[in-house]
Structure 1
Amino acid sequence: MFRTFLLCGSVFASFSGNVAWAAADTGAGAPDTAQHSEIAEGSEIVVTATLANEIAPVTSSLQTTQPQAIVSRSFIEDSLPATADFNQLALITPSFSSTGGDGGMGISESKGTLRGFQDGEYNITYDGVPFGDTNDPTHHSNTFFPSNTVETVVVDRGPGNAASLGQATFGGSVNLFSRATRADMGASLRAAYGTNNTFLIRPMLQSGSIAALGGTQVLVGGQYVRTDGVRTLAPYNQTNLFAKVMIPLGPDVNLTLLSTYNKNHFNQPDNDGPTLAQVALYGKHFLLNDDPSTPQYRGYNYTDKKTDFELVKLEADLAKGVRIENRVYTYYYNNTTLSASDTTIAGGPANVTKNANGTTNVGHIPGYTKLNSYRTYGDILKGIFNFGPATLTAGVWHEWNNTWRSRFQYDLTAGGPAANAYDYNQKTPAGVPKYVNYDQDSSGHQTQVFGELEIRPAAGLRITPGIKYITFTRNIDAVANQKTHAPAQFHANWTSTLPFLTVNYQPRQDLAIYGQYARGFLAPPLSVLYNLNPGNNTVAPQTSDSYQVGVVYHGSRLSIDADVYYIDFNNKFASAKVNGDTVFFNQGGVVYKGIEGQVTYAFGNGLAVFANASLNSAKAKGTDLQVAKAPKGTAAAGILYKHGPIKFSLIDKYTGVQYADDSETLGYRIPGYNSAILSLGYDFGPFAIEGTVSDLFNSEKVTSIDINNGPAGSILGNDQYHFQPGREASISLSAKF
């Protein structure tokens, strides 16, 4: 009744060791690699292919050693809008929530939260490579990897083991796996049109195995999206190109080449979101206008982004029980922005710029151009050595980056970036041009050396102790440093040693019990060097100790998993003004704890129901108050049907109550909100039609608040609010050849 699959492809973040060997020794059943499944395709994750797991939107593996949620390509393709970003792909999982995305699903940037950990406090990986910004490991959801580049998403709710890599090892990982190449030749084309004049086209071509090239498989594809957007006068354009080549160099050696390129252009201020006063006048989806006498003029607010990501992966079985994997990669991010300085105010006399001679220009719009550009290079080398009752995994990760960041002030009314009409309304040291807010080069280097030993002392039992050593270095060389505007040449280095211990016990083929202890680490952000004298800083890396236990059951029709967790988070970053300089230090911490679970029941004939939920506490030590932007719980439920030519799903995700500040201020309380998605499709042989309605019940509730300097809830304040985008509908036509 049970069939177990090893779904091969890119791996690194979710499991160390060779899971095929582990499965053979635990009595879980040998992997049947001859059969095909879409449960966790693209990752080396063993999943029992029961009726429930094959249709479930979220499942987990009996092999897991920490709470886990696997989102299949089938769910991504059949139940979500094609424009969805990777936060939307992960949203269906327990303890995950997402804010932002005001401009429409996948159109404007969103930020994910995992168990209350914010973006930058957990890892996001692509084919085993951790990626993120270089000033801190945060992410941009609508750049790099749109949904057409993603086969499977695996959300690991925990630090993983020693071989789980990333800068933020304590908050968990959202692991994206690239689209898989196929042995059979084929092509597909999808076109969609929907609300807000949104248009998408997505071609993809599979070469199949090319016999003349030793079985080489090639995949090329792309995506183009354009939309007027939900918010006023905020159009968005995206172009993505994707290519992947899998080359068998021998019976036991594979080389994979991957590249993706992404280009975005959109109208949006650097700090977006309407105030309550603007909402009262223009509505929740106000953003820009056509009036050049105001900061909200669309000609003053736009961004161009370009990214690329390249990966060369070599996998080789050198001898029986000896496997080597190496990943060489690089990725690039370039953001050029023109923005008004403050779009929370009106036009006219409220705006003032200053000339070099000290005179002022009343009614002129102050603004700036911003550049954030970086290139990252890295190499991940891992060796796996099987000794029968034990498997040793060891390796090293090196990464380097170079970053160029600047912000130059402009008088937008006097001519904008085309003219040398600068806004000199800021203090700068002697020798630094007054229009320079900051002009900064920075670089970083990190090394992580890891090792773990999976011991199998009895049938069904795996015990894996591990250890990882981290060294992390940051450097700044600035003509004008951010915040201080002064020249700077600073250097800082941090190190840490992290222990790990995981246990997985399978007393029977369909049941697993697991436990984990792990130490986490997050290096201080680049901003700790935005001061006059970094020697006054006492800041140390943030650390955590995670404890969690869980159970997974995969019956023929019923799939269940549940867990409890406790995370002691220390050395929270803090700052204060001392003698006119910003000094960074550690202050207190947070205790994260909760319970999570998910269940799917399959009735047969392609019909299934599912539900998952979490209760999440993230309370600051000392105050016992929930920290900002941490929902107190999540829940999801739905019904799915996929049989013959018909596909249908109705899913709903609830994000619980949260606060915009760390003090649980009543005016910053954000009530819980729902977002339901309805999808219906029908296949006509090689052709298919699908309709999707997101935010089915047209909820437009607040999802987050950017606190500026206005009193909470005051109509006079300039706090900026972000709302759900409301109901969006689309229809798509696709063809497969």
Structure 2
Amino acid sequence: MIRNNTLRRALNRASSHRTLAFALAGFGLAFATAMPAHAQSSTAPVNLDLGAVLSTGTGSAADLATTPGTAPYEAPSLTPLNATQPTSVVNKNTISNQFIGTASYADIATLTPSVATISPNGQGLSEANGPSIRGFQDGQYNVTLDGIPFGDSNDFTHHSTSFFTAGQIGQTIVDRGPGTAETVGDATFGGTISVRTIDPSATRSVTPYGEWGSYDTYMGGMTLNTGSIQSANGTSAVVDAEHIKSNGALTNTGQDRSNFFGKIVIPVGNNTTVTLLADYNHIYQNFDSGATAQQIATYGSNYGNSGDPTSQSYYKYNADHITTDMEYIDVQSNLNNGLLYDGKIYTYGYYHHGLNGLDYGGGIPNLVMYSPTGTEVSGVPGQQMKMDYRSVGTIQRLEKDFNWGDVKAGVWFDHQVNTRYQAEVILNAGNVPNYDLNTSGNSITAANNNGTIDRLQHNQLYTFQPYSQLDWKPIDGLTLTAGLKYAFFKRALNAPVNQGTGITQHYQHNYDRMLPSFEAKYNFNPNLSTYFQAAEGFLAPNLNTLYVTNITANALKPQTTLNFQTGMAYQGQHLALGGDIYN
């Protein structure tokens, strides 16, 4: 996509520095060099979650990451000097200057080693295929927003075009490992992508912005920063409103998206900060399910959807309406005597209503039945679906600092209620039921309305993860970390029509696992560090393991990984280097 950059960004790109990043199986390396550049402002946010702060070092080394023209500042991704596992950070400078405004967190994460994704419709203009981390697919790793794990409870996947936009991302962190005991989430199995939202700036500003380019794409919006309000004890806020519209790189795969974001930071006294965040996102998009070789040969390599209302690939028959929101309140406090507290209460919701043709490639004929006893007639078969869920949860953390190190303890609790529905319909007749079992492949049961309902499920997911962790510093520069987390996970299935069986089924099951971790980190000097990690990752069973008739015979256990990893990081004015070896 071609974008309308400001002169500042154009000059930055014209003088971009030599960079290289690559990853191999079993080995990862990130490397960057930089030449001096003129200074400019930085608004990179700080990760405030206890135990998850990814600073780049201390003293002069820390300053390099926020100093324009240095290698740590200009690097596409950076290995933090206090990393205890393979970690890469993409800061606001890179996000602002290397990505178009429609990009998603999945696109941003591809600047880090071992991460790959595909965006055939243009960055952020459709849900990304992936990303994958070291071959682990979406659903096998965590994604968090300001430390809050989020995603679909049925399979732990995520939606790259929902919730937040690129302009609201202040930092993206990719952990290629299960993390320490305080790393919470249902899928530490493959790692964690941590998205950090922007913070309010210290100065007042109103910033309108806009971009336009290929595929009739345009985006526009405005960001308002209040600055520090002295009459309110230094309270500050940032509000952003944005709209994106595009026809997409593929034919008939358009997107129309609106987003509203707000964040308020309220100092309370000298030792406490309260942060309030709210985000709302609505999107309408026409998606493609992948063109066949014949379709590409006939219509071209950019074929997405058809404009023919008699085709199952007609763009209006392959459409999503998705509304999401997320809110949280975060209280951080220094309770004196080295005791720190960080507590979040949050909720997020995802409401997805959509249509799709039954066979995008045209392999299933256009035949339907308007009644259970009718005959097959010409029509367009398809499916109507909805997935509506809401999570409510809390993350509570305590840290006690001593002269020899610190002790940490905390807990994560989340409860998600998820309703999933899918039915066979006739797309060119107002989505009335399609009773043709030859096209749906269903069997008639007492529950599924003569084979027209594929699923009707009311699912609940309960997650409870307490942890404790010890950081011991026996000598200068060396930190030894040992931790233990208990991962408890409960599925409750209430299915008037269960997927895969078509019958009414009710079931609940508990899963749990103790997850130990050990990390050692040593700083040779303020610019050079090394680490070693041995930790166990966790992946709770997918809901699809319950799509069987004999549901009570399910004896699956959580999947786990045992990771052994070591690496080094160096940051200097003209060179930033990170490498890791894992097994």
TM-score (norm 1): 0.70
User: Separation in 2 of the partners of 1:235 and 1:17?
Assistant: 38
AA partner of residue 243 (structure 2): Y
Q: CA 1:6–1:280 in structure 2 vs 1: closer, same or farther (change >3 Å)?
A: closer
Whether 1:179 aligns to 2:198 is: yes
User: Separation in 2 of the partners of 1:423 and 1:140?
Assistant: 32
Instruction: Determine the structure 2 residue equivalent to 1:673.
Output: none
Whether 1:276 aligns to 2:288 is: no
Give the match's secondary structure for 1:345: coil
Judge conservation of contact 2:54–2:80 (CA < 8 Å) in 1. no
Whether 1:478 aligns to 2:495 is: yes
Give the match's secondary structure for 1:556: coil
Q: What does 1:332-481 correspond to in 2, within 5 Å?
A: 332-345=349-362, 350-413=365-428, 415-417=429-431, 420-425=432-437, 426-434=442-450, 435-481=452-498
Whether 1:165 aligns to 2:184 is: yes
Q: CA 1:38–1:197 in structure 2 vs 1: closer, same or farther (change >3 Å)?
A: farther
Judge conservation of contact 1:398–1:447 (CA < 8 Å) in 2. yes
Q: What does 1:671-686 correspond to in 2, within 5 Å?
A: none
Whether 1:104 aligns to 2:122 is: yes
Instruction: Determine the structure 2 residue equivalent to 1:683.
Output: none
Judge conservation of contact 1:17–1:393 (CA < 8 Å) in 2. no
TM-score (norm 2): 0.88
1:444 deviates by 0.8
1:82 deviates by 1.2
1:424 deviates by 4.2
CA offsets 1:314-362 (integer angstroms, 9 cap, x no match): 0000112100000111110011001211111179xx2222343433333
Q: Which of the residues 230, 237, 252 maps onto 2:271?
A: 252
Judge conservation of contact 1:367–1:423 (CA < 8 Å) in 2. no
1:365 deviates by 1.2
Instruction: Determine the structure 2 residue equivalent to 1:56.
Output: 75
User: Separation in 1 of the partners of 2:54 and 2:500?
Assistant: 49
User: Separation in 1 of the partners of 2:115 and 2:536?
Assistant: 21
AA partner of residue 331 (structure 2): L
| Unpaired runs of at least 5, structure 2 | 1-41
Instruction: Determine the structure 1 residue equivalent to 2:31.
Output: none
Judge conservation of contact 2:47–2:54 (CA < 8 Å) in 1. no
| Unpaired runs of at least 5, structure 1 | 40-47, 567-737
1:257 deviates by 0.2
1:507 deviates by 2.0
Q: Which of the residues 35, 51, 57 maps onto 1:16?
A: 51
Q: CA 1:339–1:550 in structure 2 vs 1: closer, same or farther (change >3 Å)?
A: same
Q: Which of the residues 235, 238, 243 maps onto 1:219?
A: 238
Judge conservation of contact 1:38–1:72 (CA < 8 Å) in 2. no
User: Separation in 1 of the partners of 2:266 and 2:212?
Assistant: 37
CA offsets 1:130-170 (integer angstroms, 9 cap, x no match): 11111021111111122021001111111110011111112
Judge conservation of contact 1:366–1:423 (CA < 8 Å) in 2. no
Judge conservation of contact 1:17–1:384 (CA < 8 Å) in 2. no
User: Which of 425-434 and 300-309 deviates more?
Assistant: 425-434
AA partner of residue 396 (structure 1): V
User: Separation in 1 of the partners of 2:48 and 2:148?
Assistant: 9
1:30 deviates by 8.8
Q: Which of the residues 228, 240, 244 maps onto 2:247?
A: 228
Give the match's secondary structure for 2:536: strand
AA partner of residue 416 (structure 1): G
1:300 deviates by 1.9
Instruction: Determine the structure 1 residue equivalent to 2:562.
Output: 545
User: Separation in 2 of the partners of 1:146 and 1:404?
Assistant: 26
Whether 1:188 aligns to 2:207 is: yes
User: RMSD value over aligned CA atoms?
Assistant: 2.2
Instruction: Determine the structure 2 residue equivalent to 1:200.
Output: 219
AA partner of residue 209 (structure 1): S
User: Separation in 2 of the partners of 1:287 and 1:29?
Assistant: 52
CA offsets 1:289-326 (integer angstroms, 9 cap, x no match): 22222212223221100000111100000112100000
Whether 1:81 aligns to 2:97 is: no
User: Separation in 2 of the partners of 1:394 and 1:268?
Assistant: 44
User: Separation in 2 of the partners of 1:332 and 1:240?
Assistant: 14
Give the match's secondary structure for 2:545: helix
Give the match's secondary structure for 1:319: coil
Instruction: Determine the structure 2 residue equivalent to 1:669.
Output: none
AA partner of residue 377 (structure 1): V
AA partner of residue 446 (structure 2): A
User: Separation in 2 of the partners of 1:162 and 1:439?
Assistant: 37
Judge conservation of contact 1:18–1:384 (CA < 8 Å) in 2. no
AA partner of residue 381 (structure 1): Q
Whether 1:506 aligns to 2:523 is: yes
Judge conservation of contact 2:447–2:496 (CA < 8 Å) in 1. no
Give the match's secondary structure for 1:107: coil
User: Which of 549-558 and 472-481 deviates more?
Assistant: 549-558
Judge conservation of contact 1:150–1:178 (CA < 8 Å) in 2. yes
Q: What does 1:521-532 correspond to in 2, within 5 Å?
A: 521-532=538-549
1:29 deviates by 3.9
User: Separation in 2 of the partners of 1:549 and 1:155?
Assistant: 16
CA offsets 1:554-600 (integer angstroms, 9 cap, x no match): 2231111111000xxxxxxxxxxxxxxxxxxxxxxxxxxxxxxxxxx
Judge conservation of contact 2:178–2:535 (CA < 8 Å) in 1. yes
1:538 deviates by 2.5
CA offsets 1:260-309 (integer angstroms, 9 cap, x no match): 1111101235xx11111111111122122222222122232211000001
1:49 deviates by 8.7
User: Separation in 1 of the partners of 2:576 and 2:227?
Assistant: 34
Q: What does 1:661-676 correspond to in 2, within 5 Å?
A: none
AA partner of residue 104 (structure 1): G
Instruction: Determine the structure 2 residue equivalent to 1:311.
Output: 328
CA offsets 1:467-524 (integer angstroms, 9 cap, x no match): 0001100011111011111101111110000110001011222211100000111010
Judge conservation of contact 1:10–1:177 (CA < 8 Å) in 2. yes
User: Separation in 2 of the partners of 1:553 and 1:340?
Assistant: 52
User: Separation in 1 of the partners of 2:447 and 2:575?
Assistant: 70
Give the match's secondary structure for 1:196: coil
User: Separation in 1 of the partners of 2:449 and 2:400?
Assistant: 58
Instruction: Determine the structure 1 residue equivalent to 2:313.
Output: 296
1:388 deviates by 1.1
Judge conservation of contact 1:353–1:364 (CA < 8 Å) in 2. yes
Q: CA 1:9–1:60 in structure 2 vs 1: closer, same or farther (change >3 Å)?
A: same
User: Separation in 2 of the partners of 1:451 and 1:294?
Assistant: 57
AA partner of residue 201 (structure 2): R
CA offsets 1:6-28 (integer angstroms, 9 cap, x no match): 9864444xx727789x97xxxx5
User: Separation in 2 of the partners of 1:16 and 1:446?
Assistant: 20
AA partner of residue 429 (structure 1): T
AA partner of residue 51 (structure 2): S
Judge conservation of contact 1:17–1:392 (CA < 8 Å) in 2. no
Give the match's secondary structure for 1:512: strand
Matched residue count? 536
1:68 deviates by 1.2
Instruction: Determine the structure 2 residue equivalent to 1:497.
Output: 514
Q: Which of the residues 63, 67, 87 maps onto 2:86?
A: 67
Give the match's secondary structure for 1:265: strand
User: Separation in 2 of the partners of 1:301 and 1:18?
Assistant: 42
User: Separation in 2 of the partners of 1:451 and 1:120?
Assistant: 26
CA offsets 1:505-547 (integer angstroms, 9 cap, x no match): 1122221110000011101011111122222223111111000
Give the match's secondary structure for 1:458: coil
